[in-house]
Structure formats: C-alpha cells, structure tokens
Copies of this chain bind each other. A is one copy, B any other.
C-alpha cells in the first residue's frame, strides 16, 4: 500500500510522468522504496481512478507523448494524512545473511566470494550516495534538506555494511 504514497510523495515534489517516476525511483526515493515501471504505471492508473492525481498530455513537448501527473487537492490531503501516521517497521529479506547463516557448510573461498561481491555492491552504492549528496548540498531548500537526510541514512547504512564485511572477512580468514 505504500507504493501509492511513495508516488504521491514524489509528485508532491514535482509533477512527473510515469517514466520520470520510474527513473526517479532509480536514484532518490527509489533508494529506499524500489518499484518497477510496471508497478508505477499500474498504481498511477489507480490513483487516477481514485481521484488522487490527474494527468495532462504534455503539449508542445518534443519526443513521444507524455502523460504528466500532478496531485489533486484530495491527493495532497491523503498524502498529508499518511505522512502523519506512524511508519510500519520495514520488512527485511536479505539473501546474503541467509547464506552466511548457513555458511558453516561452505569452504572459506566460497564464503570469501560471497562477501567480496557484497563489498563491491556496497562500495558502489556508498559512492553513489555520496555523489548525490554533494549535488544536493548545492541547494539550500527545505525539500533538499530532507532529501539529504534520507541520503545520509543510506550513507550510514552502507558504512555499517562495509564495517561488518571487514569484520566478517577477518573472522573467516
């Protein structure tokens, strides 16, 4: 049910097409709420059915036709209500940790391969977060401050992963 509100949150920042949202979900709000373009198009249709967003065919644009969605007053109200309700605890499903839990059945080289790959992933993501943070640091708007706050959470998360990966590698030798 939260994809709906993730979309509304994004549209509250600025009106956007399904395509824009899908891209955006790949590099800002999408860091902590992932969704494919199929999900987004489906949910946009429902939001439209429910009157929380409206769309206009973007005119005078170059490129293929675009449907640009924006919040309706009802959409803005629904978003504000949701923002004020307590957040549900997030569901964790982490394959790597299941594998490490069963790691007593593996040889050290196999374990190392698992951890090394994770290290690459997390190093990359940390770099990506830091770069985006530098970009956002240019802006002093209230919106940007909150976006940076969430990015900071991503940075702490990745730092914690790297710290753990170092320790795990040291321990398995």
Contacts and interface: CB of A to CB of B under 8 A. Distances in A.
A36 to B, nearest CB: 11
Contacts of A80: 105
B97 A83 contact: no
Interface of A: 2, 5-6, 9, 12, 28-29, 31-34, 79-80, 82-84, 86-106, 110, 113-114, 117-118, 121, 142-143, 145-147, 149-150, 152-153, 156-157, 159-161, 163-164, 167-168, 171
Quickly give the copy total for this chain: 2
Given A83-B110, A87-B99, A153-B164, 5 more contacts: A33-B95, A80-B105, A87-B118, A101-B150, A149-B168
Contact of A89 (B6, B110, B121): B121
| Dominant SS among interface residues on chain A | helix
B88 A95 contact: yes
- With a 10 A CB-CB cut-off, give which of A9, A84, A98 has the most chain B CB atoms: A98
12 contacts: A5-B98, A12-B102, A29-B101, A33-B94, A34-B91, A83-B99, A83-B106, A100-B150, A101-B146, A104-B143, A104-B146, A152-B168
Contact of A98 (B6, B95, B96, B98): B6
Ordered nearest first, which 4 A-B pairs have the shortest CB separation?
Answer: A160-B160, A87-B96, A32-B97, A9-B102
A83 to B, nearest CB: 5
- With a 10 A CB-CB cut-off, give which of A87, A152, A163, A164 has the most chain B CB atoms: A87
Nearest to A92: B32
Nearest to A147: B101
A34 B2 contact: no
